[in-house]
Amino acid sequence: MIPFAGNPLNRASEKRTNPEWIARKLRDSSSLILPLWRLEPFLLGSANDPQPARLGLLPPKNLEALAIAEAPCIFLGLDDETAIFTLDLSSSPNPAIDGPLAGLGYFCDARTAAQIVSLREAAIIAQAKALIDWHQRHGFCPRCGSPTMIMDAGYRRLCGKCNAEHFPRVDPVVIMLATEGDACLVGRGKQFPPGMFSALAGFMEPGETIEEAVRRELMEEASVRVGEVSYYATQPWPFPSSLMIGCFAKAQSREFKVDENELAEVRWLERGAARAAIEGQTVEGVRLPPPIAIAHHLIKTWAFGEL
């Protein structure tokens, strides 16, 4: 399973437009709320505890004193019969240090948290963080500039002036492993740590198919021409709101020319080297991404011939 995928919640979207049901569930002592503070999810216990960690889903009474009217409280879905919400506490000073959450747990950056909780909890983090992040950036109407209001338990914003509706966005990104014979193409972004290589990636553009975006990005970044493009898997990537679309692409030759504005370096990596690097070794100065990244799974699937 790819981290951030596999969300276990029943989103029960029909409940979002039922404010009485939402209000009742927010008072129900069996409901659970995941606090986020400055986009960091709450985890139970202490950062020094042995892992795996547990997501800090708390009963509503723990959060009564912290909830303020303007703070987004979003219905994430049902876990069996239990209603799960997320609450943005960003306007408070760190509530894990002082106040009703003190001693219960700590806030942890989402990328780290996703690597130390279970896969099902990581997927809930992806949903909660992407939604709260979207609300933080969409307080004003892009059409007329007036303030917008939260509607539908967090799944819509409505402009109070021009009535334009705004919905949480998902930004598609293609991430592709070009292969040629027994080698795959990896690149090092300019901002990557030394030695870190990954599959090439880029945002899709309007009016473009997934296959066209894969071909364009490989041509732009590495001047690699590819034929067949095949779909692998997708991954929600809540930094802030991407959907990573993993693909394989068959290159027509190993010739390349790196676009130095985009990448520091590009290399063809032989299958044996890719196998060792994906298992954590540094091979020929190349390290590959950890399992939180879909690139890891893309490279591993190809390297071990599961394709």
Residues forming the site for Zn ion (CB under 5 A): 141, 143-144, 146, 159, 161-162, 164
Task: Find out whether 282 and 250 touch, Cβ atoms under 8 Å.
Answer: no
Q: CB of 135: closest distance to Zn ion in angstroms?
A: 16
Residue 189's SS3 state is: strand
The nearer residue to Zn ion, 52 or 139, going by C-beta atoms, is: 139
Q: CB of 88: closest distance to Zn ion in angstroms?
A: 22
Task: Find out whether 108 and 47 touch, Cβ atoms under 8 Å.
Answer: yes
The nearer residue to Zn ion, 129 or 157, going by C-beta atoms, is: 157
Q: Cα separations (Å) of 2 from 57, 114, 295, 297?
A: 22, 11, 10, 7
Amino acid at 171: D
Amino acid at 118: S
Q: CB of 151: closest distance to Zn ion in angstroms?
A: 14
Amino acid at 199: A
The nearer residue to Zn ion, 168 or 291, going by C-beta atoms, is: 168
The nearer residue to Zn ion, 146 or 230, going by C-beta atoms, is: 146
The nearer residue to Zn ion, 21 or 140, going by C-beta atoms, is: 140
Please state whether 152 falls in left (phi above 0), alpha (psi between -120 and 50) or beta: left
The nearer residue to Zn ion, 146 or 209, going by C-beta atoms, is: 146
d(CA 211, CA 49): 45
The nearer residue to Zn ion, 166 or 300, going by C-beta atoms, is: 166
Largest interatomic CA distance in the chain: 62
d(CA 129, CA 37): 10
Task: Find out whether 117 and 108 touch, Cβ atoms under 8 Å.
Answer: no
Amino acid at 285: G
3-class DSSP string for 78-130: EECCEEEEEEECCCCCCCCCCCCCCCCEEECCHHHHHHHCCHHHHHHHHHHHH
Q: CB of 137: closest distance to Zn ion in angstroms?
A: 16
Q: CB of 149: closest distance to Zn ion in angstroms?
A: 11
